[in-house]
């Protein structure tokens, strides 16, 4: 591992200044992903700025039912919070499905949003990877890509976003709060926070140098039921092959008056299935309607030979999950 300096920040402005002033400085919170990447040589920061002493470690429940989650709240606290479990169960389910107990104790909310892909070529510094070293090529397209993305990809990158939590947040219309270097604040809808790879897969979010995530805000809970369902290769801790965070509510006649769908494991970012939502809004959630809408979401997909099965799996997952949510409304 490359030698590095270490600074413990006690004020947000000091932390932001340190990171903004150097292209080789990064924030450190739980370190559950960053330290692994440092050990692999994927990232070699010259300076780690410890932000765990900053005042972003609280969960603030609001009178309207919304919540502000501090960026330093660990996954274990967030998933175990009574208000989260009762009003935003899909978020708690995603956190519990996304990591072991040990990781949840350390991993922060902000850090979870900034997880890097687990593509084997990104993590192997001996192989070309445009995300790690722009302009070198994408080894995965002609290599092992079974676990990688089928939609939102480009000729430069087919990596997936690995976060379970972010998928649930996408379905819940979360907003990411940022502190800029100049002390100003910015609120970015999660749908706009992540960037698709295009020709610049090394740019994964809208964050600018020195930007600090301070929290994540959820509006009041949506009507109806919510659920996070994850398909993985083994029941124990594993990344999603395909996952889904869904919100569904019907009106008095059985038609969908609220439908939100966010997919994980299929795209370079949490994939909000807006096309499927549009087709299903106001419709009765029959098997045919659900499958037709889910298939339409993947009209622009670019699957590769080893991962084309993900499309059918995602269609099945959407169909079964929405059907179960609607059926559960009457219980």
- Please name each of the domains of the chain with its CATH number: 225-328 (3.30.390.50)
pLDDT of residue 331: 46
**Strand boundaries in 204-241, DSSP class E:** 212-218, 225-231
Q: Would you state the pLDDT for residue 293?
A: 98
CB 193 within 8 A of CB 113: yes
Which stretches of the chain are assigned E, i.e. beta strand?
Answer: 5-8, 25-28, 47-50, 59-61, 67-70, 175-179, 185-189, 212-218, 225-231, 242-250, 256-264, 271-272
| Residue 324 DSSP code | H
- Rounded to whole angstroms, the Cα distance separating 31 from 57 reads 16
The CA radius of gyration of the chain, in Å to the nearest whole number, is: 20
Q: Which two tokens stand for residue 8?
A: 């413990």
Residue 100 has a pLDDT of 85
What is the pLDDT, as a whole number, of residue 330? 46
Residues 164-220: tens digit of each pLDDT: 999 999 999 999 999 999 999 999 999 999 999 999 999 999 999 999 999 999 999
H-run or E-run covering 106? helix 101-106
Residue with tokens 């600090």: 212
In 3-state terms, what secondary structure has residue 200? coil
Mean pLDDT by runs of 10 across the 331 residues of the chain is: 91 92 91 95 96 97 97 97 97 93 92 97 98 97 98 98 98 97 96 97 96 98 94 88 97 94 98 98 97 98 98 98 86 46
Q: Could you count the other beta carbons within 10 Å of the beta carbon of residue 64? A: 9
pLDDT of 329 reads 65
Closest CA to 321 of 225, 239, 229: 229
Q: Are 30 and 108 in contact (CB under 8 A)?
A: yes
| CA 60 – CA 46 distance, rounded (Å) | 35
Q: How far is CA 61 from the centre of its chain?
A: 22
Rounded-to-integer distance, Cα 190 and Cα 205, Å: 10
Q: How far is Cα 191 from Cα 172, in angstroms, rounded to an integer?
A: 10
Query: Would you call 287 helix, strand, or coil by DSSP?
Result: helix
Closest-CA residue to 103 (of 161, 160, 36): 36
Dist CA 135 CA 130 (whole Å): 6
């Amino acid at each position: 591992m490359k030698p590095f300096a270490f600074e413990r920040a006690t004020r947000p402005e000091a932390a932001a200044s340190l990171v903004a002033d150097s292209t080789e400085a990064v924030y450190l919170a739980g370190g559950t992903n960053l330290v692994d990447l440092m050990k692999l040589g994927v990232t070699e920061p010259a300076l780690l700025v410890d932000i765990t002493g900053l005042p972003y470690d609280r969960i603030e429940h609001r009178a309207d039912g919304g919540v502000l989650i501090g960026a330093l709240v660990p996954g274990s606290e967030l998933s175990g919070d009574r208000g989260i479990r009762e009003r935003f169960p899909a978020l708690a389910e995603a956190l519990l499905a996304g990591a072991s107990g040990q990781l949840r104790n350390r991993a922060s909310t902000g850090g979870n949003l900034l997880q890097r892909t687990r593509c084997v070529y990104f993590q192997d510094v001996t192989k070309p990877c445009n995300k790690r070293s722009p302009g070198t090529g994408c080894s995965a397209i002609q290599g092992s890509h079974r676990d990688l993305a089928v939609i939102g990809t480009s000729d430069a990158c087919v990596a997936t976003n690995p976060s379970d939590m972010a998928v649930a947040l996408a379905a819940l219309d979360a907003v990411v709060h940022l502190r800029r270097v100049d002390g100003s604040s910015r609120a970015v809808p999660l749908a706009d926070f992540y960037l698709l790879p295009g020709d610049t897969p090394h740019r994964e979010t809208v964050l600018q140098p020195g930007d600090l995530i301070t929290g994540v805000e959820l509006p009041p809970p949506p009507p109806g039921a919510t659920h996070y369902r994850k398909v993985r290769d083994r029941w124990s801790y594993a990344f999603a092959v395909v996952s889904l965070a869904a919100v569904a509510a019907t009106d008095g006649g059985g038609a969908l008056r609220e439908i939100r769908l966010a997919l994980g494991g299929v795209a370079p970012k949490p994939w909000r299935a807006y096309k499927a939502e549009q087709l299903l809004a106001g419709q009765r959630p029959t098997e045919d309607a659900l499958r037709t809408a889910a298939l339409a979401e993947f009209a622009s997909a670019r699957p590769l030979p080893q991962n084309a099965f993900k499309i059918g799996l995602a269609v099945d997952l959407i169909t079964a999950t929405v059907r179960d949510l609607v059926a559960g409304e009457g219980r």
